[in-house]
Amino acid sequence: QVHLLASGGGSVQPGGSLRIQCTASGWNVSDYCMAWFRQTPGKERESVADIGRYDSTFYANSVKGRFTISRDSAANTLYLQMNSLEPEDTGLYSCARGDGGAWHGTFYRPCQYYDWGQGTQVTVSS
């Protein structure tokens, strides 16, 4: 069983900021590809941001410049700092663990996610 506990969600006004986090146990967040996903009613779960084995980061176009993904190996915690929040950012945010994100000779295997923790709800409204 993969142990991931998300927290920090809540209700904020547009333009506000929020930091959510995901704490792991039994393994370390710095040893895997890690990502944040979000899901809204009627839509498929989408990748918001991820951080790879070489600490490379990826952000969805909708959040680029506003969100920052990071991790702290000592605290064994993954973070997502969310600034300038918009109503469209509303959703259930979940952290995920994956593998890959490394070169094998000339072949690059991208991060692939297959383990998800329980999410934390983020609601942006006036």
Amino acid (one-letter) located at 111: C
User: In this predicted model, what pLDDT tens digit does every residue of 111-125 receive, in sequence order?
Assistant: 999 999 889 999 999
1: pLDDT confidence band, cut at 50, 70 and 90? Answer: low
Distance CA 92, CA 14 (A): 17
For 60, residues 6+ apart whose C-beta sits below 8 A from its C-beta are 46, 47, 48, 49
Q: What is the pLDDT of residue 9?
A: 98
User: In this predicted model, what pLDDT tens digit does every residue of 16-70 receive, in sequence order?
Assistant: 999 999 999 999 999 999 999 999 988 889 999 999 988 899 999 999 999 999 9
Residue with tokens 């967040």: 29
Burial 92-107 (b: 16+ CB within 10 A, else e): bbbbbbbeebeeeeee
Distance CA 23, CA 42 (A): 28
